[in-house]
Amino acid sequence: MIERLGKFYRLDISFVTSHFFYTPFPPFICNSMLKFSFLVSLLILIPSLGSAQTKADHEMYVCADLDLGGGIKWVTVNGIFRRDGVNQYTTITRDTPGICDVTFDPKDHSHFYAASINGPLATYNAARSWRMGADWTMTESRSIHVDSGSDDHIYVGLPDGFAVSDNKGRSWIRKETGLPLRGKYTQVVSVDSEHAGRVLIGTESGIYLTENTASTWKRVFATQAMVTDIEQSPLDHSLWLATSKKDGVLVSHDNGNTWEKMKSQVTHALFNIALDSENPNRFAICGFYEGVLTTEDAGKTWNVRNAGLPPQYEVMRIAIDPDTHVLYAALNRDCIYSSSDFGRNWKKDGLIHSIVYQFVFVPRETK
């Protein structure tokens, strides 16, 4: 993929490996000198592809508003940014409409789908262009996910329900049988990594489960306020955890079929939960007034991990890198912080003056 970075273009190796043979020239490379330079670059870069594959197994993407006003005047652009290292966040797309979540086609990362204020968006050329697949009846999508078994099926959570695309986001249809008429504000969509067509959603009225690609839903946990996040354990697929506005942390040990509240000292809304891919007892949660809390004993005890963060510790989002196990915390209008010791110490990691809505770790494309 080639991206425009100010006056320069950046060549992304992973894009080239998947697309080079099909699209030798991005559309904007129109003069012969540029084409020549492009081919020379490829000749230089292709031998290094092997080394690129030796990097971490996942790429980290961030959906965020970024302040161009330098923290003095709040002038934002919204977009998707990829972390390439400490203080190295590369713009994948900017000036896009309110993107708060993104999901990638596992086989082709130039195809990805975003939950945005314009409803679900799809790109088939690494964000050089977009398709607003839904019409005016779907807006302000909150969460989006590709099905674990079918790359064609995309799920999107809406403030007034849920919709599915069976054609890679070109069009969308509501699938809400079993959801309530009111109370179906869907904040989070989480797919079962092991079973195609099996999806859990977190809504205003609880957690709902479908096992038939959203043809029907059943409520598996009732709440009086938003379920804000649902995550499946990467180590034990029958273990699911969720966060909520008023019910704290929720846990399911039977693959999301039943849920119970987990003991914790939180009193305010939680925004999301992150699970470590190495230690099954390590989770982290966050909230605007709670900051960061971690557990290393599967939730028996929770540790406040705000020391080292700014005094307000208004944490919008948290994540654990599946490769390095670094803990990331996004502070409201501040920046992303990282911790290599699971929250005991923090350092600034970049994306200064940002509001982060989502961290997404994407397995590198299989070639």
Partner 1 sequence: MKKILLAGVILLNLVIQTASYAQPSSTAAFVAQPADADSSQRRAGYQARVHEMLTWGISTSAKVGSNDLVTVAAQLALKENLPYCSKKVIELMGIKEPGQKGNGPFWMFPVTTIAFLGKDVLSNEAKQAIREAWRVNMQTRGDTENHWAMYYSSLYLMSELYPHEPENTWYNGKSSDENLHESKEYLINWMNIATSIGQGEFNVPNYIAEYAIPMAMLATWAKDPEMKKRGQMMLEWIYSDFAANTLQGVIHGPNARADDISIVEPWNCMASNFAWLLFGNTPPTRGYSGWGVLYASIAQDYELPEVIYKIARSKQDPLLQEDLKRTRRRWRNSDVLMAPVYKTNYMTQDYAVGSYQGGLVDPIQTHGWDIMWNVGDPRGVHNTMFSMNPISSTDELETCFTAVPDEMPKRVMQEGKPSYDFPGKLLGSSRYEQIYQNLDTIVALYDIPEGTRFPHINGFFSKDLTSVTIDKSGWIFAKGGNTYLAYRPLADYTFQPISAEKSWLPGTSMKGGDKRLYSPHLKNGTILQVASAKEFKDFEAFKERIRSLPFVYRLEPKPTVSMTTIRGNRITCTFGQEPILNGKVVDYTQWKLFQGTYLNADKNAHKLTITHGNLRRVLDFNSVTTQDN
Partners of 61 in the β-ladder:
82, 360
* Cα–Cα distance, 298 to 212 (Å, whole number): 31
Q: Which of residues 322-361 bind partner 1 (CB under 8 A)?
A: 332
* Cα–Cα distance, 202 to 205 (Å, whole number): 8
- 97 binding partner 1? (CB under 8 A): yes
Of 18, 78, 223, 232, the one binding partner 1 (CB under 8 A) is 78
- 135 binding partner 1? (CB under 8 A): yes
- 226 binding partner 1? (CB under 8 A): yes
* Cα–Cα distance, 298 to 292 (Å, whole number): 16
- CB of 74 closer than 8 Å to CB of 65: no
- 129 binding partner 1? (CB under 8 A): yes
SS3 300: coil
Number of helices and strands (H, E) in the chain?
A: 3, 29
- 77 binding partner 1? (CB under 8 A): yes
Of 39, 46, 68, 307, the one binding partner 1 (CB under 8 A) is 68
Q: Least CB distance from residue 71 to partner 1, whole Å?
A: 11
- 204 binding partner 1? (CB under 8 A): yes
* Cα–Cα distance, 52 to 321 (Å, whole number): 18
Ramachandran class of 52: left when φ > 0, alpha when ψ lies in -120 to 50, beta otherwise = alpha
- 29 binding partner 1? (CB under 8 A): no
- 15 binding partner 1? (CB under 8 A): no
Q: Least CB distance from residue 75 to partner 1, whole Å?
A: 6
* Cα–Cα distance, 134 to 174 (Å, whole number): 10
- Amino acid letter, residue 51: S
SS3 18: helix
Query: For partner 1, what does the binding mask look like between residues 240 and 279, x meaning CB under 8 A?
Result: -----x----------------------xx-x--------
Of 31, 32, 43, 182, the one binding partner 1 (CB under 8 A) is 182
Write down the residue that tokens 């425009």 correspond to: 4
Which residues of the shown chain bind partner 1 in the complex (CB under 8 A)? 65, 68, 74-79, 91, 94-98, 117-118, 122, 129-133, 135-136, 139-140, 142, 159-160, 182-183, 185, 187, 204, 226, 228, 245, 268-269, 271, 287-289, 314, 316, 332
